[in-house]
Amino acid sequence: MKQVYCISGLGADERVFSRLSPADTQFRYLEWIVPENKEPIEHYAARMATQIHHNHPILMGVSFGGMMAIEIARVIPAAKVILVSSVKSHHELPQWMKLSGRLRLNKLMPPRPAEWMSLLENTFLGAESEEEIALCDEFRKNVNPAYLRWAIEQIVNWRNEWQSPVTYHIHGNKDKIFPLKSILPTHVIKGGGHFMIMNRAPAISALLNKIL
């Protein structure tokens, strides 16, 4: 049975992988940890990697979890890195994120969004059903503010250009967070938004069967 270490998106947990069903595969979930004061992403990735108990693991990350999978693969050589709704380098970040990092606009964000902002975020995430919207709202409500501020800082200031030798990138052509026009994926899910890990799970599972 193949062992796959999964890293959820910003503030999310293992439930985002609950609808995936690749054959002969066991998912193991890496938990987000509270960052140290001004902790570099490289140091954070090394601490996350202590949760891995296999040599040359298969890593799969969603959104910010994909970025973290790349950083962990620097620490522990990975057999495969699978990105879902994510980016491989700073070149694939949208311009507004890069600008936010340069101007430090992320420092102006409130610790928790207003209700109208939550509705807008759910639309951009591509949450389609009531269950998905409720899950996104729960993640947003329960996320650790210190972790959230740290993670956003890492995303908008990510400068990575390195890739693991065996990298697969699954992306949706309707992703509003990381638009496809800036991405060079290995696989494209038609109609997939940023939350396609849940609402396009059968299509992603079929691809995982081939990749794994």
In the chain, what are the domain boundaries?
A: 2-211
- What pairs with residue 79 in β-bridges? none
Helices of type H across 126-162: 130-142, 145-156
Q: Torsion over CA of 131, 132, 137 and 140, rounded to 10 degrees?
A: 140
Rounded-to-integer distance, Cα 143 and Cα 111, Å: 10
The percentage of the chain sitting over the pLDDT mark of 70, rounded to a whole number, equals 92
pLDDT of residue 121: 82
- Per-residue buried b or exposed e for 1-38, using 16+ beta carbons within 10 Å of the residue's own CB: eeebbbbbbbbbbeebbeebebeebeeeebebeebeee
Contact 91, 83 (CB under 8 A): no
Phi then psi for residue 150, to 5 deg, are -65, -45
Per-residue model confidence as pLDDT tens digits over 143-182: 998 999 999 999 999 999 999 999 999 999 999 999 999 9
pLDDT of residue 7: 98
- Per-residue buried b or exposed e for 155-185, using 16+ beta carbons within 10 Å of the residue's own CB: bbbbebeeebeebbbbbbbbbebbbeeebeb
The whole-model pTM stands at 0.93
> Could you say which of 3.40.50.2300, 3.40.50.1820, 3.30.420.60, 3.40.50.1100 is the CATH number of the domain covering 2-211?
3.40.50.1820
Per-residue model confidence as pLDDT tens digits over 106-131: 665 655 554 545 666 888 888 999 99
pLDDT of residue 212: 95
pLDDT of residue 99: 79
pLDDT, mean of residues 41-68: 97
Vertex 43: Cα angle to 39 and 49 (nearest 5): 130
Phi then psi for residue 162, to 5 deg, are -90, 145
